[in-house]
Homo-oligomer: A and B are copies of this chain.
Amino acid sequence: VRIGAVTAGQQSESIHRANLSAIMRTLHEHGSRTRSELVLATGLTRSTIRLLVAELVVGGFATERPATLDGTPGRPSPLVVLNPTGAVVIALEIAVDSLAAAVVGLGGEVAAHIREALPPERTSLDEVVTALAALAARVTTAIPAESQVIGYGVAVVGVVRRSDGMVSMAPNLGWRDQPLGERLAQVLEPRRPIIVANESDLAALAELRRGAGVGYDDLILIWGSVGVGGGIVVGGEALIGADGYSGEVGHIPVDPDGLPCRCGSNGCWETVVGSGALLRRAGQEPDSGAPSVDAVRRAAERGDPTAMAAFAETGRWLGIGLAGLINVLDPRLVLLGGRLAGSFPFVLSTLEAELDRRVQRAIRHLVKVIPATLGPDAPLLGAAELALDTLIDDPVAWLRDRAATVEAISA
């Protein structure tokens, strides 16, 4: 139970922080706004907005452009634009078969981006951490000297504890209980915060802010790769769970006496909707990976009946598992992302048929299933968003930091 009181001694400071944060979030998530639009968006007075924007400008996080007469009534109002190089984060990703790094600035602007293959025989923690640090160093060269580097956001294809980046399970990497966060702290710029999170959770965050989820407060993203992960957003906030381990939808039992799962159980959702199941149904080797999945998809595009039937059966099981999630969570939107985005047209009809049969009647017509739109970089972009939140949730601390730096340089 949370106590909502604002303590007397901190009242003005905490309000100042909340107001600055509200302005930055509006600009970061919705783009440039005139001062008048910020008044409407935040409910703050015109003079408060003017002062707060001035702080952001002095801190290097925003600039103001002269008012233009755009034909709307009222006094022309200056346009407030975030400075994408004012603050940047370094986003990193450990995917099933690749590593990626990006520099992302305020407003979600991507300044540099590298992705390279991760050979399956080089996935020990040491090898991955070393390779990721090298990628980070390469993208870091793209950061302008005047940028404030906020920290690192890291997406990983595994079950991870947010508090310290401990990866308890990442079957695709052969990891169990690997201290990823701790090792990254040893090789990356040590004074910067490093936040590690699961790829599906981060893909959901990115789609919520910049993809197919914009405008929704309650959504589920299903992220398909070899396994299946989920990112859940409830009331506009990521559902994290008591220990940061929520959203492991791949291990919902949907066929309790079914095929063995990599987790040691039987009949988990990913045994029937993962890429292995698709390939098996299409008569392919279940472990033959992304190129084989692409081949099956191309066959389905040509109308090949075996490929189409394989996708239809995947769609049926997608619908069965999704029906349970929808009945429990009551979302308005379900996004299919990762490899599932490309499967969308071939799974949709059997998927929807299961939803028609299994979702509570009261909400069936309220929930929409569509493909995610950000593509394979969604987890990387979500990692950047999570890292940028460090700044946006508490801009005052960073303005102070900046002032201290300026003072130190001047001294």
Contacts and interface: CB of A to CB of B under 8 A. Distances in A.
Nearest to A20: B5
A169 B251 contact: no
Interface stretch (A75-83, A123-131, A317-325): A317-325
B360 A159 contact: yes
A327 B252 contact: yes
B217 A242 contact: yes
Nearest to A367: B242
A4 B21 contact: yes
21 contacts: A4-B25, A5-B44, A6-B18, A7-B45, A161-B362, A168-B360, A168-B362, A169-B362, A230-B328, A232-B328, A239-B239, A241-B363, A242-B331, A243-B330, A244-B330, A248-B328, A249-B328, A251-B324, A252-B324, A265-B357, A324-B324
Given A218-B241, A239-B329, A242-B217, A43 B363 contact: no
Contacts of A265: 323, 357-358
Given A169-B360, A362-B159, A6 B2 contact: no
Contact of A246 (B5, B25, B255, B330): B330
A22 B3 contact: yes
Of the candidates A159, A256, A357, the one having the most CB atoms from chain B within 10 angstroms of its own CB is A256
Interface of A: 1-9, 11, 15, 18-19, 21-23, 25-26, 29, 41-45, 48, 159, 161, 168-169, 209, 217-218, 230, 232, 234-236, 239-249, 251-256, 263-265, 268, 320-321, 323-325, 327-332, 357-363, 366
Contacts of A255: 256
A328 B253 CA distance: 11
Contact of A6 (B1, B19, B232, B362): B19
Contacts of A19: 5-6
Contact of A29 (B1, B264, B321, B363): B1
B253 A8 contact: no
B22 A366 contact: no
Given A48-B8, A263-B360, A332 B242 contact: yes
A26 B226 CA distance: 48
A324 B248 CA distance: 9
A230 B358 CA distance: 17
Nearest to A232: B328
A43 B328 contact: no
Contact of A45 (B8, B234, B244, B248): B8
A3 B15 contact: no
A229 to B, nearest CB: 11
A200 to B, nearest CB: 12
A253 B320 contact: yes
A3 B320 contact: no
A409 B19 CA distance: 43
Given A6-B15, A8-B44, A263-B361, 9 more contacts: A1-B25, A2-B236, A7-B44, A8-B48, A246-B330, A253-B324, A264-B357, A265-B323, A268-B358
Contacts of A321: 253
Nearest to A7: B43
A392 to B, nearest CB: 11
Given A245-B363, A361-B169, A327 B42 contact: no
A5 B366 contact: no
Contacts of A41: 3
Nearest to A5: B22
Given A3-B22, A5-B18, A255-B256, A239 B234 contact: yes
Given A159-B360, A265-B358, A366 B242 contact: yes
Nearest to A46: B8
B248 A1 contact: no
B251 A253 contact: no
Of the candidates A8, A235, A253, A264, the one having the most CB atoms from chain B within 10 angstroms of its own CB is A253
